[in-house]
Structure 1
Amino acid sequence: MVWTTPVAVFFSCIVLMLIGMTVWEIKSPTTMRKGFLPMQTTRGDRLFVGLLTAAYINLIFIGLAGKFMAWFGLEQEPSIWISFVLSMFALAFVMRRG
């Protein structure tokens, strides 16, 4: 894996989320709740599912970046920051509504 700035920011955000979730769990223990996911989940479960979703969004974007150039007539591949923002929105959505 090439450690570019977006990759470093992505993994830094994951580390910060894990630290934040640990502190939050110590201060206020979680309870099970039902959201749109097909099972009852805790905050940690939703974080795990959200991180998987974010990773898949980034991988799909990287895999399709060359095709986006052809489909949309772009001169260069789209910025990886687009997938980072999309994956963080997806993560926030799963954490809030999952």
Structure 2
Amino acid sequence: MDITEKQIDGAWLVAASGRIDSNSAPALEAVLPERVQQHAATIMDLSSVAYVSSAGLRVFLKGVKAAKASGHKLVLTGLSPSVYEVFEISGFTAIFTIADDIDAGLAAIG
């Protein structure tokens, strides 16, 4: 998994690519919770992520909890149908703000 980051229209963009599984989740865990605490609005772009395991879901849960504790926003964007299904089955679609793409994510942040 590769992770890139940049400022975009008043939000912090974290983009991942590849698989988020037990091998790669620690790399994301080293970035996401800290970024959501540092920035009032963070967009996590998953458009290049093909797979998310339970280890990845745990990192996202930690990220959204950190965002809420800080009074900040975290929006997930670009979920493929298979990744969205993992979020849906786990009940995470009720926990996260999910947008189709980065532009929609920016609009969701408001």
TM-score tier (shorter): under 0.3
Which structure features the higher share of strand residues?
A: 2
| Rg larger for | 1
Structure 1-normalised TM-score? 0.25
Which structure features the higher share of helix residues?
A: 1
